[in-house]
Structure 1
Amino acid sequence: MSKWAVIYSSVTGNTKMVAEAIAQAAEEADIFRVQDAPVDLSAYDIVAIGYWLRLGQPDPLTLKYLAKVQDSKVVFFQTHGAEPTSEHAITSFARAGYNLGPGCEILGTFGCQGKINPALLEKRKHAGADDPHGGAESQKRWQQAASHPDEQDLSDARELVTRMERKLELKKKFLAKQAAKLAAQQKEE
């Protein structure tokens, strides 16, 4: 198995729970809060970076860190109050990738709902229906998010490790086959 660096930012504990599940599933993993994460990640085969969403993108601490990540195979994981398949959740992965340093390859992503910060909920309770965070639909989503990450989310996060390990193994086999094919062609010439 690969050596993993699992790096996370968490305010309410949601992203930390997911980070711990990922680190537990990897045979060899070091886990870091984003503010304590190393800049030199060359000792790791896979770098998993987790964050909570703010304004449709990774939180400010993670955004600052992403630019320092270079030449790494990256897996993103995120927690948020939105539906996991919502445009808000999906486009935030693209925004994370856009902020990575040079030479990175994104292997995969994982997202799940998480409890919303109580201070933020209190502030949003008074948002009007014309506010994207106001109204009955938002309150229904907040209630749903309050029970996450749940056991199924954490199981899915652990399964992410298996999927990414398999993806890396298949890629290695494919590249080896391509190299052998190229070598045979060059030998014939």
Structure 2
Amino acid sequence: MKILLTYSSKTGNTEKVAEAIKDIIPEDFHFCKVQDAPSPEEFDVILIGFWVDRAMPDRDALEYMQKIKGKKVGIFATLGAYPDSPHGRESMQNARDIVKENEIIGDFICQGKIDEKLVEMFKSLPDNHPHAITEEKLKRYEIASRHPNEEDFERAKHIFKLAFKSLAVEV
């Protein structure tokens, strides 16, 4: 079984999750950034990670995900919002919809530090803008800055370890 573990990361959050997942994958697999990923046709199982951009996978991951057809796919993501928020749920559903022509073997999403440039841009927005800085948002950004953490990594590894066991792949 040929396995690909690939990811897109802007601030390093998704890369950290990919590195954690890497620990539980059998030795014979290909690991790379999505920008360097070979054709999905070469693999039986593809785990793909992305950072959330407007409730969707980032552009690089999205383009790759749209090429995946008839495979066993695991998806993982990081975002600044709470993973169990409506935005987090919508983001994962959108990702599932993109790869719906495949068998989804597992998914994982966790919070991650928000790009400082984005936070600075939010600070310049008028108070009536939906992304304008508020005390609540500053609190969420501070919480997000502590993720992904060891607990997140363990949850991601557990999810994909179970996925591989369901495929009868020894991990």
SS at match of 1:71: coil
Q: Deviations over 1:36-65 (max 9, x none)?
A: 111134433x21110001111100111111
Aligned-partner Cα distance in 1 for 2:23–2:96: 25
Q: Please, what is the CA RMSD of the aligned residues?
A: 1.8
- Cα distance, 1:90–1:79 mapped onto 2, change above 3 Å: same
Distance 1:90 1:3 in 2: 30
In structure 1, what residue type is equivalent to 2:155?
D
Aligned mates of 1:53, 1:40 — CA distance in 2: 21
Partner of 2:121: 123
CA distance in 2, matches of 1:91, 1:167: 26
CA shift for structure 1 position 162 = 1.5
- What SS is found at the alignment partner of 1:10? coil
Give 1:160's aligned residue. 159
1:177 aligned partner:
none
- The answer to whether the 8 A contact 1:23-1:30 is kept is no
Once the two structures are TM-superposed, the CA of residue 128 in structure 1 deviates from its matched residue by: 4.3
User: Does the 8 Å CA contact 2:79/2:88 hold for their aligned counterparts?
Assistant: yes
> Which residue number in structure 2 is paired with residue 25 of structure 1?
24
User: What are the ranges of 5 or more consecutive residues in structure 2 without an aligned counterpart?
Assistant: none
Cα distance in structure 2, aligned partners of 1:167 and 1:132: 42
Tell whether the 8 Å contact from 2:5 to 2:46 is kept in structure 1 after alignment: yes
Structure 1 unaligned runs (5+)?
A: 170-189
The answer to which structure, 1 or 2, has the higher relative contact order (CA under 8 A, 6+ apart) is 2
CA distance in 1, matches of 2:2, 2:111: 27
Tell me what 1:97 maps to.
96
Cα distance in 1 for partners of 2:166, 2:128 equals 43
1:176 maps to: none
Decide whether the 8 Å contact of 1:4 with 1:23 is kept in 2: no
SS at match of 1:53: strand
Residue number in structure 2 paired with 1:113: 111
TM-score normalized by the length of structure 2: 0.88
Q: Distance in 1 between matches of 2:129 and 2:21?
A: 35
| Structure with the bigger percentage of helix | 1
Q: Give 3-state SS (helix, strand or coil) of 2:152's partner.
A: helix
Preserved CA contact (<8 Å) 2:5 2:22: yes
Identity of aligned residues (%): 37
Could you tell me the TM-score, scaled by structure 1's length? 0.80
Provide the rounded CA distance (Å) in 1 between the counterparts of 2:79 and 2:86. Answer: 12
- Please give the alpha-carbon distance, in whole angstroms, between the structure 2 residues aligned to 1:81 and 1:42: 33
More divergent stretch after superposition (130-139 vs 66-75): 130-139
Task: Report the 3-state secondary structure (helix = DSSP H, G, I; strand = E; otherwise coil) of the residue aligned with 2:69.
Answer: coil
1:157 match: secondary structure? helix
Amino acid at match of 1:10: S
- Alignment check: 8 A CA contact 1:34 1:65 kept: yes
Equivalent residues of 1:56, 1:88 under 8 A apart = yes
Opposite residue 36 of structure 1, the aligned amino acid is: D
Residue matched to 1:36: 36
Corresponding residue of 1:77:
76
Helix, strand or coil for the counterpart of 2:40? Answer: coil
